[in-house]
Structure 1
C-alpha cells in the first residue's frame, strides 16, 4: 500500500510503498477511504510534540472494514467506521469511572514506538502514529479505536467527526457543559473552532462570539451559529469581547489555536464565575501566565482532550445531527486532494487558506 511517511521533522512527507500486517487478536484491518489534515498532525510534523520517527502520520479518518482478527466482536467486514485516536481499554480506572478519553490501558492504547504493525524494505522500524496512521491506504487498529456508523452517512464527511468535530463539539458539550442561554467565545475558527461554534449553537448558547483574523472564516462562523464576530486585527480581542457583553465578559471561552497568548486571552475575557477551556495543543514546554487575583472571582481554566468524548456514543449522535441538518459538515471541507498532494495540503493549512482539507483514497 501507499503511505505518507515522516522521516524528519520540518521535512516534507514522502510517499512510500509499505505493507501492513494481518489482523491479530482484537485487531481490525480497514481500507482507508478518507483522511483529514489536522493541525495536530502538523504539531508533530514540526517537532512541537515528540514522536518516534519514521512514522506515518494521520488520525482523522473513515473507512470500510476489510478483515477482523480473532476475538473481534464489535465489527465485521463491510462495516463503515470512523477512527478515533482515544482508543480505550474499558477496564482501567479512567474507563470504568466514565472517562475513557483518558484511558491508561497501555495494552490497548499502545505507547509511542510500541506498535509493530508495518513492514517495509528499510532497516529502521516504521512507527504507527497514535495507534492509527491514517495517511495510508490501509489501517490496522484495535477494535476499540473505531466506531460503526450508518452506511448512508457520507464517508468523506464522517472522517471529520473522528477528530476535529468531536474535539470542538465535545469541548463545548462534554467538557464545559455549556447550558442553554449561556455566552460563549471561541478563539480560532479553523475546523475545531467551527465545530465548537456549531456545538455551542446545538447546545443552545445564547451568545456565540467567534474570534479570528480571517474575515472569510468569520463569515462562515456566522453560518454555523456565531452571533458576533471579533477580529483581533481591529484591536485587543479581550476588550472587544467585553465591550460586546456590556463589560462583563463571557461565561465560557474556548481557546482552539494552541498558543500562549490566546490561552491567556481566553481567561482574560471571562465573566466572574466563567470557565476557559483550552482545546488547542499548546507547544510542549510552553507555560501560560495568568493574574492570580482573577481567580478571586471564581474564574476557572481547564483542558479538554478530544472533547472529553465517549466516542461510541458521541460519534453516532454527530452523524444524526448531520443527517438532521444541525451539524454543517459540508461547510468544513475546503479542498479534496490525493495522497500525493499531501504536502501542498499542509502548506495551505499553515497559510490559513483552508478550514479542512481531506485526502480521498481510491
Structure 2
C-alpha cells in the first residue's frame, strides 16, 4: 500500500490518565518493525476488561495509553521477518500470543505462551504510537481503540477473507473466552447440568458453549432479570436472580438440581461470586471454572469444598490456542455453528466511545 514504510496519522481514543474519559486525538503510528504487522482497524468492541484497567487496576505508570483488545482489521503493511501475513489479509489481533515455539505452545495442556505480552518485560520502547510529541504506551500488545495499530505477528490471527469484520471482531476476546471455558476448560458433557454466573458477553458465550456441548439444563444466574430473555437465545433453560432468595445461591441451585450442578462457570470477576459458583457444584464431581478477571482481591473457600471431590480451575481466553482458535471460531461462525450477530446491541463510531463505555458501565448493552 502507498502508506507502507511511512508514518500514518489517524484518530485514536487516548487514555491520558486513569478514571478519566478517553480523548479522541490525532496520533502518529510508526511503520512496523521486525516481526510486526501494522493493521487498519475496521471494527472494535468495548470489553469489560478495558473498563477494569481504566477504572480499577492499571498503574499510573502505564498511562497514557490506547486501550482496546477486541477488534478486527486488514493488514496495511508488514515489517522485516514477517512471512505469515501480507497487505490485504483480514486479521484479528489477539492479546494472548501463540509463538508456536515455546514449551507452552508446543504442549496440548495449555494455551499459554512464554512470549505473551503478560510474560515479557516492557519499557515503552516498543511503542509505535505518538501523540503531541509524547509516546503512548501499547495496551497488552493490541491497542485497538485506534484507526491503525501495530502488533507482533505472534499475536495476530489470519481469518477467512469472507468474514464480516464488524461481526467477528467479537471473537478477539469475549465470545472465545466464554465459549471455550465451557467446551475446552470445563469440558461440559452431554446431558449434564450447568450454571453460568454473570450474563455479560462472556457469560452468554459460556451459555452457548454449554448448549453446544449438549448440556440438558443450563441455569443462568444474574441479578439483572432483563438479561434472561437474551440468555434464552443462547440456550439457557432456567434463570435465577440471587436477589429473589433469602438463602445462599449455592443452596438454591442445590435444591434445583438434586445436590448441585455438574459444571459452573463464573463470568463476573467478583471473588464472592467465584466462591458461590464453586459451592454450587455437586460435591462429588462438580467442576467450577473461574473465567472473570481480577487481580485486586483474594479468592477463598473452605478446604472441605474441594476435599469431597470438586475441581476448581481457571480459564484464560477459553483455553484456545489463540491464533489457531480464533481462526477456527471464525470458520465456525461462517458455518453457522456459533452465534455472533446476536451479541451486538449497538453500532457506534470511534467518536462515541465514551458513550459506549457508559452503556457498559450501566449494563445497557
Give the TM-score taking structure 1 as reference length: 0.92
55-64 or 291-300: which moved more?
A: 291-300
In 2, the alpha carbon distance for the partners of 1:108 and 1:257 equals: 21
8 Å CA contact retained: 2:73, 2:90 = yes
- Deviation, structure 1 residue 251: 1.3
Q: Structure 1 pair 106/87, CA: closer, same or farther in 2 (3 Å)? A: closer
Task: Report the counterpart of residue 341 of structure 2 in structure 1.
Answer: 330
Question: Contact 1:20/1:119 (CA < 8 Å) preserved in 2?
Answer: yes
* 2:63 corresponding residue in structure 1: 53
Q: Does 1:88 align with 2:98?
A: yes
Q: Give the Cα–Cα distance (whole angstroms) in 2 for the partners of residues 79 and 99 of structure 1.
A: 30
Q: Does 1:176 align with 2:176?
A: no
CA distance in 2, matches of 1:109, 1:147: 20
Work out whether 1:162 is the aligned partner of 2:172.
yes
Residue number in structure 1 paired with 2:278? 267
* Structure 1 equivalent of residue 52 of structure 2: 43
Q: What secondary structure sits across from 1:167 in the alignment?
A: helix
> Which residue is 2:356 aligned to?
345
Q: Residues 309, 232 of structure 1: CA spacing in aligned structure 2 closer, same or farther, 3 A cutoff?
A: same
State the Cα deviation string for residues 41-82 of structure 1 (Å, max 9, x = none): 011001324361110000000001111122211111111111
Show the counterpart of 2:153: 143
For the pair 1:315 / 2:326, whether they are aligned, the reply is yes
Matched, 1:287 2:289: no
CA–CA separation in structure 1 for the residues paired with 2:187 and 2:128: 38
Q: In the alignment, which residue of structure 2 is the partner of 1:121?
A: 132
CA distance in 2 between partners of 1:204 and 1:141 (Å): 37
SS for the counterpart of 1:32 is strand
Aligned to 1:116, the other structure's residue is in SS state coil
1:27 maps to which of 32, 36, 42:
36
Report what 2:79 is aligned to.
Answer: 69
Query: 1:38: how far off?
Result: 0.2
In the alignment, the residues of structure 2 paired with residue 240 and residue 108 of structure 1 have an alpha-carbon distance, to the nearest angstrom, of 38
Label 1:148 to 1:268 Cα distance change in 2 as closer, same or farther (>3 A).
same
Question: 189, 210, 215: which is aligned to 1:200?
Answer: 210
Q: 1:107 to 1:4 in 2, by over 3 A?
A: closer
TM-score (norm 2): 0.91
Q: CA deviation at 1:326?
A: 2.9
CA RMSD of aligned residues (A): 1.8
Aligned to 1:358: none
User: Within the alignment, does 1:10 sit opposite 2:19 as a pair?
Assistant: yes
Aligned match of 2:7: none
Q: How far apart are the structure 2 equivalents of 1:61 and 1:335?
A: 15
Gaps of 5+ in 1: 355-362
Partner of 2:3: none
Which segment drifts farther, 55-64 or 219-228?
A: 219-228
Stretches of 4+ moved more than 6 A in 1? 106-109
Deviation at 1:335, TM superposition (A): 0.8
List alignment gaps of at least 5 residues for structure 2. Answer: 1-9
Q: CA deviation at 1:130?
A: 0.3
Structure 2 partner of 1:357: none
Instruction: Measure, in 2, the Cα distance between the counterparts of 1:296 and 1:108.
Output: 32
Correspondence for 2:5:
none
Deviation at 1:169, TM superposition (A): 1.0
| Aligned residue among 177, 195, 199 for 1:189 | 199
Farther-moved stretch of structure 1 (83-92 vs 219-228): 83-92
| Secondary structure class of the residue paired with 2:207 | helix
Q: Match of 2:240?
A: 230
Higher mean C-alpha displacement, 130-139 vs 90-99:
90-99
Which digits, 9 at most, give the CA deviation of each residue in 1:135-167, with x for residues without a partner?
A: 000011111211111122211111001100111
